[in-house]
Structures are given as structure tokens and as C-alpha cells.
Amino acid sequence: MLELIALVAFVLALAAFLGGRRTADRLDAEIESLKAEIARLATQAPEEVVSDPAASAPTEGEAATVPEVGVEAVQGPWSQAREGAQIFGSAPAGAEIGSESPVVATAEPAAARSAESLESRIGGRWPVWVGGLALALGGFFLVQYSIEAGLLSPTVRLTLAAVFGLVLGAAGEVIRRRAVPTISDRFRNAMIPGVLTAAGAVTLFGVVYAAHGIYGYIGTAPAFALLALISLATVGLSLLHGQALAGLGLLASLLTPLFVSSGEPRPWVLFAFLSVAWLATLAASRLRRWTIVPTLANAGLGLWGLAYIALAAPFEAPPVAAALLVMVVGVGLIWPGGVERASGATAETIASPAAARGPWETLFTPPHAAISLSAAIVAALLALLFISPAVEAARFPIAEFVVVTAGLAGVGALRATAAYPALLASLAAVVGTWTLTALSGVLAYLDPTLASPEIVVPGRAAMLTAMVLAALFLLLASAVLSRLAEHRQFAILWAGIAAVVPGTLIGMSFLMTGNFAFDLPHGLSAFAGGLFLLGLVEWLSRRNAEGRELDLAIGLLALGSLGLFVIGLHAWTDGLVTTLAIAFLGAGYTFATRLRTWPVLPWVTVAAAIVVLARIAWEPTIVGPGSLGTTPVFNALLPGYGIPALLLVGCAYFLRASADLRLRNLLQALASLFVLLTLAILVRHAMNGGVLDSSVPSLGEQAIYTLLAIGASGIFMTLDGRSPSPVFRYGGMVLGVLSMLSVLSAHLVGLNPYFSGELLGRIPFFDLLFIGYLLPAIGYAGLAWYARDRRPQPYVVALAVSGAVLAFAWATLSVRRFWQGESVADWKGFLQGETYTYSVVWLVLGVLLLVVGSRFNTKSIRIASAVLVFIAVLKVFLVDMSNLEGFLRALSFIGLGGVLIGIGLFYQRILSSSGNGAADPPAAVSTATDNMGEGASRA
């Protein structure tokens, strides 16, 4: 039944063709009249004629509507190919659209869309597609029937099938020449000639495969040649019949090696054929501006390479690398390498004026991006697979990896539309170098349970690979910046690549294969690369002297030079010398602003300071714990921390008049941070016997840190008054807040001798309590007084309260030392005399604070006095009432009552004087003081 349906479909197709011939003369006459009308309109409105030579050729839509008559008599293969593009080609690319007039580009598709109905979609397309499939299946079922019935011999069956395929192809060509020019352009993806040609190609492909694989009539070489010929001929015919036929030819080309088995694999023959098939597909795509088929061709070539590398053991890398180079170079030079961005942008503007994109979006959405992106992904993945330890190669293919990566990078630097090849080449270079420099060694370092470290390749080979690739990217970046600097975003992209990739490659090579004591090759290559980048910066700045378009590129290159110089310093120096050299190097960039006006130079100093901080975080002793002396202050820490701090202070002072506020603030913050680090590390070293470790600091050491924070906060306050800066303003307040938090966490709780049991020392007054509590209390009081009119009131109150809390703690612990001795640990309990003394001392402290706050008119100190007195009241009523006995309990309450009455009398006098406006506040203070003194003496 199916065979009968196939024959009926074929007969109907031929009948439709013969019926079309009868109307050909009538249509030719109508076309001639239309051409005459167009010529008349063109003479009446010459201003509408497109002046661009590229637009003088008829567009695809025009050719489909107004075909030439009688051209068959003089057609050659190229003119027929152009006719195929006009009839069956895909949608035009940016260059073609850009050359059309707005009327053609917008009005004709709108008219086509409005004229097309559901009936035309179903009646004009689906019968053609289903009919082509029915013809192919009909040929297959006819052969199957003849085999099952035993009617014909294999030779006759194959001959008839071949004749059937040729007849289908011939019928497609006849219909294309006779009937197709009269068919509307909207049916270009469902044209009968293309469907018939595809069915014929499938039939011939099946005949050759059956002759070789089933019956064994022909050998491997003839079968391979015939299959290749059919697939390539199909690709060639796609120039006349459209992109779908090209996809069929590509599929046939990719399947050809699978259908022909050989006992002796020949990878050179395989990948040479795949390269030829890929080139044929790309050439056809270039002529027709196709995107889908070349993208599929890239993917197919990549799948063949992946299958060969994964299945062949060992595999030969050179043929795969050669095929990849053909693909990369073809994409870069043939298609879409020749497409200029301008024409693509013009096409987008004509097609959709509202779809204007930003410069960076345009950079990463180039014309026909799918082709270049797929080729770059395939090349990068297979190049990395070459050197993967997971596969087995006949010879470790380092050279092939370098060649493919270099080719991809070269294509990425060839045109301003090649952003993706440039990025993927950079990624492949970095990942490949990482693989070559002992990846398994890093894993074993991170997890000692793994196998012993193994170097994938010799260290010298990995080092040379890294250096060659680094030099390649530097040279390509210079070429891009010299040729394509007008493409600002692309130039910035390559400047970033030049700044990151060479330093990363050389740095990885040095870390994994270098000699940390002294490494001449890595140092030379790093310094040479840094000087090359500085020279490139100088050349760009001179070329761009009048504009600021490439400032970002110049900045990236300058930062890259610092990175390479840092690697070179690590290769040639060690310890303290490296830290100081990086600090001087960074400061040199700032001082170089006297010679060059590059805005990035001070920012390079900031980056160098961050590198120094990273070195300090990695090794706080600068020279190693074994080499650090025990002498306080005068040891390796003083220059290791102090000299970078002095250099940053000098840089901040040097740029004090800079217009860049962010830069000034950042340098001031870094300078302040380094000064504080220097003081803190010297204190830590001196207080711990010359040892820097992670042990918990003692109360004395923590007190020094608190005093440093208080002093730095005051210094910042002074600097902010002379040269207002948010760094000084907010940085000083942050230091003050941090120090107050340390008081709460360390002084009062964590390091409190009452809880820790730390001994206070043999001298009663000048002991641990003096440095741990009294000195910080005095510091907070002085800072609060100094900040009264300079900082927000809540901050000043917090400083005053912190000082009062520390003074309270000092007085309380001093009382305990008086009664308990050098150890004031909590396990000793409390004596009755000690408990009573607390009440007396707290009340005296409250009165003193009240006097000081009134004398200097400081509300914060008066508030602290009120809090302290309130605490004393609570202590008397809650503790003394229950723990004291006899005379001490009565005396405690009498003294408390006298002090409270004196405080009340003081406030009554003050408030009354304020109301009358005639009293002298100091006299009131002295009177109240006498009264309170009497009460305190009774206590």
C-alpha cells in the first residue's frame, strides 16, 4: 500500500509540473509588463534608487518577485548559484540588509505576512514536506518489497534504486528551471525542487552504502569516495536549493566515515575529509549568509574529534589539531570573519530602530555569533583535552595544544567582532597551563590522603609553554591596540587580557615549577613582560594624548605591569627584601605622577599596598618565625611594617591636593592602617617575649592596643580638623567604637583578673590594674573632653561612659587587691570589710564625677556620676543589708543617706540659682562639696 502511495505522489508531482508549463508563457508576459512598469517608475523617481554599489544587485525578495526571462540560455554554475540564493537562500545577513532601501526591507515582509493565510501555510508547505518524505520511503519500501518477493537480483535492485535517485534529482532540477520562478517567495523553505533533490541524495547514499556494507560489491576506498562525492555534491547543490539541503549534505558527510569500516584506522584521511566537507559547507554558507548549518558543522567536527580522542588509545593529536586549525582559520577569514560590524549595525537599525544596543552589548553580540562561538568552544575544549591526564596520546601533544590555542587567540585578535575567540583562547591557555604544571600535585597538597604528587610533564616544558603563551598574548594585545584602537571596547578587552593572562601564566609556572630561592628564567620573563606593558602604556598615552577614550585600557595595562613586577620580585628576592621592594615599587608609581599624568598611577600604589597586606597576612613575621629576633622594637618587624607605612604616609601627603577624593581617602586609610599595624605588632612582639603566635593576649597587651586605638582616634580627630576627610572623621570614630567594644569584651570580661586569675604584680599602685584600667579610663576621659564640639553627642557620651566604667573597674579591683593581695581571683570570696569598702569607694567616685562634671559643665560626666551613685544605692540595699552585720551595716546606710542628701542639696542650689539668675555656680559647687565631704567622713 505504501509503495502505491509513493508512486501516486510521484505521478502527481510530475502532473503538477506539466500543468505549470502550460501557464509559463502567460506568466512570462506578465513579468515583462511588470519589469517595464518598474523601469518607468525608476525613471520618474531617481532619488529613490540606492547609490551603494553593493545594493545595485537585486535582493532576494526582488529576485523572487521579478525573475529574469531567458537567462537559462547563458547561465553558468555561479549564476545558477546566485539564482538559487535568490529563490532558496536563507534570510539575508546584516551586510545584505544594510544595502537595501528601507522600502524593500520593511514593506515587502509586511506585505508577505499580511497576504499569507492558514490555508497557504498548510497547502503550500506540508504537502511538499510529506511528499518528499513519502518519495524517500517509497524507494526504500520498493527495494524491501523486491527483496522479500525475490523478484530482482541485488544488482538490478541497486541499479534501479540508483536510477530512481538520479531521476529524483533530475526532476528537481527541471522543476527548478521551469516552474519555480513563478512561485511566491514565502514558500522558499518548502520548494519542491529542493525536496526532490534531497530525496534523490538520500536514495543514492543508501545505494552506495548497501553496495558496500550489505552486498560487498565495492571496496572501502570506492565506497568512501562515492559517499564523500554524494555528500559534497549535496552541499554544492544547496547553493541552488537552500540551507536545508546543505544540512542534509553536512549530515551525510559526517556519517560517511561511520558507514565505511576499515581494519586500519587512518586519522589523517578521516580528518582531512572532515575538513574538506567542513570547508565546503562553510563556503556555501558564506555565499548564502547561512548561520545554522556552519554552526552544526562546527559541532559535528568537534564531536568527531572528541570521539576519536576518547576512543582511540593512543590517539594521534596532529590530524585533529590540523582540522581544528582549518576550522578556526576558516571562521576567522571566510565566514563570518569578513562581516564588518558597521553593516551589521546598519541592518539592525533599519530592521528595528528601537533595538539600539550599548557598546559592550554590541561587543558580545557580534553578527553571526553562533558560528564563531561554537568554533571557539570546540577548539578550546579539544585543545585542553589534548593534554588531559584522562586520555592517552601517542606523544604528549604540548605543541598541538599551543598551536591550536595560538590559532584561536590569533583569530580573536584579527577583527573587532572576535571577542569570544579571544576570551576562550585566554581561558584555554590558563587552564591548560594549570594542567601542565602538576594539577595532581596541588590536589595532594590540599589532601595528603591522595596519591603522591605527580608532575604531568617535565617542569621545563611547562615553564616554556607558559612563557611562550604569555609572550603570544602580549604581542597580540599590542597588535590589537595598534590596529583596532578605534574599537574602544575591544581594545579594553584585549588590554584586560594582556594584564591578566601573561601574569597568571608566569605566576602559575613559578608557583608550580619554579625555584623559590632564586629563579632567573621566571624573573626575567616577568620583568620583561612588565616593561613591555609599561612601554605599551607609554605608546598608547602618546597616541591618545588628546582624548580619554583609552584611559581604562591604559589603567589595566599599568596594573598588569605591577602584577608581573611582583612575580619577578618574588622570583629574585625573599622575605623582608620582597616586602620592602613591593612597597617601594608601589610608591614609585605615585611619585611617577610628576613625570606622567596617567590617572591610574596612584591606584597602582593602592594595589601594591594590598599585595603587601596579603604578604603580611600570609607571614606576619615577615622573615619567618625562626629568623625573627627577640629584641623589642628593633627587629625585622620595624622595617617590614614601618617602611611601607612611611611610604604610604608619604604618598598620601604627596597627593593631598589631588582632585580624586576617593583616591585621597583610600590612601589616607591605608596609611593609617599600616601605622596602627606597625604599633600593634611591635607591642605584640615585645609583650610576648619576641614570639608572634595566635595565643590570647594578656590584659597588659590588650590595654596597649586600647590605648593605641584611643590615641589614633584623637590623632584622626586632629587631622580631620586641619584637613577635613571622611577617612579621618569616620575612621577615628570607628576606632573609638572598636576600642569601646574591646573594653566590654576583654577588659571587663575576658581578661579581667577577677575571672582569669592573672596576678597583678607586687607593687600596689603601679601594677596590672594601672595599665589595664586606670590609663585607658584617663584616655577615654581626655578623648571625650577633646571630642565635645567635634563629634556627635552620642559618641562623646559613649566615650565618657567607657572611661567611667574603666575607672569604676579600677577602683573596685583596687579595693579587692587591698583586702586580698596580689591575686584577686573570684574563688577567694569576699570579706565584710571589703564589702563595706566597695560602698564607700563607689560613693566617693560618684561624688567626684559629679564635681568634675559640674566644674567643666560636662553633662556626660554628670550622667556617669548618677549611674555610679545608683549602683551604690542598689549595692547598699541589696548586698550590704544581707551580708553586713552590726556597726558596719548601720554605718553603710548612714553614709549613703548623708551622701544622697548632700547631692540633693547640691542640685537644689543649682536649680534655684538657675531660676533667679544670680547665684555663682562655683560657690554652689564648693558648698555642696563641703556637705558631701562631711557625709563621706561619717561613712
| Concatenated DSSP letters of 802-844 | HHHHHHHHHHHHHHHHHHH-S---GGG---HHHHHHHHHHHHH
| Bond prior to 776 in cis (omega within 30° of 0) | no
Q: How far apart are CA 711 and CA 208, in angstroms?
A: 93
C-alpha 229: how far from chain center = 47
What whole-number distance in Å separates Cα of residue 183 and Cα of residue 179?
A: 7
Q: How many CA atoms lie within 13 A of 212 on its CB side?
A: 22
Residue 488 identity? R
Q: Whose grid coordinates read 585543545?
A: 383
Q: Are 939 and 892 in contact (CB under 8 A)?
A: yes
How far is the first Cα of the chain from the last one, in angstroms, to the nearest whole number? 124
Residues 6+ apart with CB under 8 A from 245: 194, 197, 198, 201, 234, 237, 238
| Contact criterion met (CB below 8 Å) for 404 and 324 | yes
Quote the cell numbers at residue 844: 566617693
**Contact (CB, 8 A) for 94 and 54:** no
DSSP string, 194-232: HHHHHHHHHHHHHHHHIIIIIS--S-HHHHHHHHHHHHH
Omega cis (within 30) before 794: no
HEC profile of 499-548: HHHHHHHHHHHHHHHCCCCCCHHHHHHHHHHHHHHHHHHHHHHHHCCCCC
Radius of gyration of the chain (CA): 44
Q: List pLDDT tens digits, range 816-855.
A: 998 888 888 888 878 877 877 887 888 888 888 788 877 7
Q: What is the DSSP letter of 574?
A: -
Distance CA 489, CA 83 (A): 40
Q: 3-state SS of the chain: helix, strand, coil percent to 5?
A: 80, 0, 20
3-state class (DSSP) for residue 761: coil
Q: What is the DSSP letter of 413?
A: T
Q: Which three cell numbers stand for residue 307?
A: 570521539
Please, how many CA atoms are within 13 Å of residue 474, restricted to the half-sphere of its CB?
Answer: 27
User: Which H/E stretch holds residue 236?
Assistant: helix 220-241
Whole-angstrom Cα distance, residue 388 to residue 385?
5
Q: What are phi and psi of 730, to 5 degrees?
A: -80, -30
- In 3D space, the residue among 741, 726, 734 whose CA is nearest the CA of residue 667 turns out to be 726
Please provide residue 393's backbone torsions phi and psi, each rounded to the nearest 5 degrees. Answer: -110, 150
How many residues appear in the chain?
939
Cβ-contact 308, 270 below 8 angstroms? yes
Yes or no: say if 439 and 446 are a contact pair by the CB < 8 Å rule. Answer: no
Beta bridge partners of 393: 315
Q: How far is CA 928 from the centre of its chain?
A: 71
Nearest one of 205, 266, 267, 262 to 233, comparing CA atoms: 205
806 C-beta neighbours (distance < 10 Å), count: 25
* CB contact burial 755-789 (16+ within 10 A = b; e otherwise): eeebebbeeeeebbbbbbbbbbbbbbbebbbbbbe
Phi-psi region of 757 (alpha: psi -120 to 50; beta: other; left: phi over 0): left
Task: Give bridge partners of residue 861 from the DSSP assignment.
Answer: none
Among residues 452, 275, 291, which one has the least CA distance to residue 371? 291
Q: Which three cell numbers stand for residue 891?
A: 554605718
Phi, then psi, of 315 in degrees rounded to 5: -100, 155
Are the C-beta atoms of residues 777 and 810 closer than 8 Å to each other? yes
- State pLDDT tens for residues 581-592: 999 999 999 999
How many CB atoms within 10 Å of residue 666?
Answer: 18
What pLDDT does residue 494 have?
Answer: 96
Q: Which of 462, 348, 471, 367 is nearest to 409 (CA)?
A: 471
Q: Is residue 302 within 8 Å of 324, Cβ to Cβ?
A: no
What residue type is 786 in one-letter code? Y
Rounded distance between C-alpha atoms, residue 699 and residue 676, angstroms: 19
Q: What is the mean pLDDT of each run of 10 residues along the chain (939 residues)?
A: 44 47 59 76 56 40 39 42 40 39 40 48 59 68 64 78 83 73 49 77 82 81 84 83 83 85 80 92 90 94 95 92 96 79 43 61 90 96 92 89 97 92 97 78 54 60 94 96 87 96 95 90 97 95 78 94 97 95 97 92 96 92 87 92 96 90 88 90 84 80 88 88 84 89 87 89 86 92 88 89 88 90 85 80 82 75 76 73 64 72 69 49 43 42
Distance CA 744, CA 809 (A): 11
For residue 584, the 8-state DSSP code is H
CA distance 866 to 903: 10
Cell numbers for 587: 610608591
Alpha carbon distance 613, 872 (integer Å): 48
Which neighbouring-strand residues pair with 315? 393
CA distances from 698 to 237, 677, 759 (A): 88, 18, 11
Q: How many CB atoms lie within 10 A of CB 117?
A: 10
Report the alpha-carbon distance of residue 787 to residue 803 in Å, rounded: 14
